[in-house]
Amino acid sequence: MYWLILLVAAWILGSPQPAVAQDNESCLACHQVEGTAITFPDGALDVTINSKKFAASVHKDFTCTTCHTKHTGYPHPPRTATSRRSYRVVAQQVCATCHADQSKTYELSVHGRGLRMGLGDVPLCTSCHTTHAVIKPKSAAFRNSIPETCGNCHADDAVMRRYGLRPVYQAYVEEFHGVTTRLYRLVTPAVRSPSAVCYDCHTAHAVRRVADPESPVAPANLLATCRRCHARAGSLFATAWTEHRIPSLRHSTLVYLAQLFYLILIPGVVGVLVVLTGLDLWHWAVTRWGGRA
Amino acid sequence: MMRRGGPTVERFSLAQRVEHFVLLLSFNILALTGLPQKYSAADWAQRLIAVFGGIETTRRIHRTLAVILIAQGLYHLVAVVAGRKRPVRRHDMHFSLADVRDLLGDAVFLAGRRRERPRFGRFDYRQKFEYWAVVWGTALMVATGLIMWFPIIVTRWLPGVVIPASRVVHGGEALLALFAVITWHFYNAHFRPNIFPMDPAMFTGQIPVERLRHEHAGEFEDLKARGLAPPPSHPEAQAEGKSQTD
């Protein structure tokens, strides 16, 4: 009995909490040093921890070993990953331990399926959420920079072409939603943009191909998706959509023609006005100094 | 420099001057709150929007001034229709082939190829062009602005493509108006050497008879024929006015 009490006491007193801070500090002793990195054949993986950013992250109260379960001591156990990419792919299984729902949704998404197919470009949890600087997805800072987060890949022509896609970022930031969100991000960063960002229409973790009939932006579902914000939108409302395309003769022809019209009209009109102004000044100068006219 | 002495005649009624002032105010504030939206990627645009307190306030200001401009436009229509029966100055702004002839004749005169300047009426071809550009431009800005403001109502009847097209037209027309105002209105009403720094007629409502005689000879003669034009006061005013405007 005496031993039993002693055991329980030891279990309570010896709970890991007090050891935590000390634990993180011993990790940071090495990992705070600028330039700490693991070298892989496909590039170096920076393993430097910015403790300030980590302290501002949602995981600030976690110990390093909460996620890095095997790295309880030094030297660390031998690495199994052979590339930077495979290291990161394996590492994101850690996220699933707590975020199982999101992880499952992601696995069924076009990104998750791409990952299973071994595609080297598809985003991992950390591609969007970062590793040690994870902030609340509902925060203004996260929401207002969603276009840039997605734009990391979806603005890149080379990456997009590998998958038969168009870069859409540039067209989005010129659309009304994109302009509004950019101005929130740059001018009033503490306020969440009320304008649609990528995930409002495409969803975040469940993103599908546009051609997928279950995609919220598939032609048949588009109006319903618009109505999630524009509740009273009529059947023609969704036809205002320019498909993240830069207008051309083939796509949004009327918009393109309007652009072309002003491209010609503005220099034309201003040119005539400048000529007439020049003539008037010329006449004045000749009258004043030329002694004729 | 502008001569302020000598007899004058009324050029703009008080109501017209107030209209002009409302237009001046709304045009400038609309441009200041609209252009940074068109060029939202530019640094200056973001700073300007920050001055207004963010994009929502910027849009609220823009739309408030738009309502004021629309109200003024409607008032103007009513005023023109109500005033159309007046016997004098009825077709002041009427644009005709004569104005095209005036433009070409004036260009030839200014280039020094002809001695006689065309005799302009109450408003010359430049002022008529400006007036009709404002009428047309305002109508287009109001139409495209309302389409963007009420996209849900508009797409009850019109295909959706009119919304992105309106954005382009609204921005293009704004730029055209701004450039026209800078190269044309600023020059004709501010920077012409004989009126610099500004033509005060729109604010005082009066124009010296001497200037009228030279710049709007047609109207001067019309007024004289009706016995409404006071004679120029003293000979030197006549002489000086002549040297400035010819």
DSSP A73-108: SSSPPPP---SHHHHHHHHTHHHHHH-HHHHHHHHH
Interface confidence: ipTM more than 0.90: no
Is residue A21 predicted with pLDDT exceeding 50? Answer: no
Tell me which of A87, A117, A134 is where a domain ends.
Answer: A134
Is B110's CB within 8 Å of A238's CB? no
**Same-domain check for residues A127 and A145:** no
**Same-domain check for residues A58 and A100:** yes
Query: What would the pLDDT profile of B168-211 be if each residue is shown by its tens digit?
Result: 999 999 999 999 999 999 998 898 888 888 888 888 988 888 88
Count of structural domains within chain A: 2
Surface of A (169-208) touching B: CB under 8 A: 173, 175-176, 179-180, 182-184, 186-188, 191
CB A57 within 8 A of CB A135: yes
Query: What would the pLDDT profile of A177-197 be if each residue is shown by its tens digit?
Result: 999 999 999 999 999 999 999
CB B6 within 8 A of CB B210: yes
**Same-domain check for residues A127 and A154:** no
**Same-domain check for residues A116 and A172:** no
**Same-domain check for residues A264 and A180:** yes
Is A186's CB within 8 Å of B37's CB? no
All structural domains of chain B: 9-207 (1.20.950.20)
- CB atoms closer than 10 angstroms to residue A116: 9
Q: How close, in Å, is residue B204 to chain A by CA atoms?
A: 25
Query: Does residue A279 sit within a domain?
Result: no
Is B164's CB within 8 Å of A234's CB? no
**Same-domain check for residues A87 and A128:** yes
**Same-domain check for residues A147 and A225:** yes
Is B156's CB within 8 Å of A270's CB? no
**Same-domain check for residues A35 and A130:** yes
Tell me which of A111, A134, A157 is where a domain ends.
Answer: A134
Q: Residue B188: closest CA among chain A residues belongs to which residue?
A: A277
Banded model confidence at residue A8, pLDDT cuts 50, 70, 90: low
Report CA Rg, chain B. 21
Among A9-13, A260-264, B25-29, B161-165, which stretch is predicted with the lowest mean pLDDT? A9-13
Query: Does residue A14 sit within a domain?
Result: no
**Same-domain check for residues A178 and A213:** yes
Is B155's CB within 8 Å of A237's CB? yes
**Same-domain check for residues A167 and A216:** yes
Is B151's CB within 8 Å of A240's CB? yes
**Same-domain check for residues A121 and A37:** yes
Among A117, A130, A55, A57, which Cα is nearest to A88's? A130
Query: Does residue A260 sit within a domain?
Result: yes
Among B197, B195, B177, which Cα is nearest to B241's? B195
Query: Does residue A16 sit within a domain?
Result: no
Task: Give the whole-angstrom CA distance, residue B185 versus residue B24.
Answer: 12
In this predicted structure, what is the pLDDT of residue A195? 97
Q: Which domain holds residue A234?
A: 138-270
Average pLDDT of chain A to the nearest whole number? 90
Residue the block writes with tokens 């618009």: A226
Query: Does residue A230 sit within a domain?
Result: yes
Is residue B2 predicted with pLDDT exceeding 50? Answer: no
Give the whole-number percent of chain A exceeding pLDDT 90. 75
Q: Enumerate the residues of chain A whose CB falls inside 8 A of the CB of residue B156.
A: 234, 236
Whole-model pTM: value is: 0.85
**Same-domain check for residues A69 and A40:** yes
Query: Does residue A2 sit within a domain?
Result: no
Task: Give the whole-angstrom CA distance, residue B13 versus residue A38.
Answer: 81
For residue B218, give both structure tokens.
Answer: 């047609």
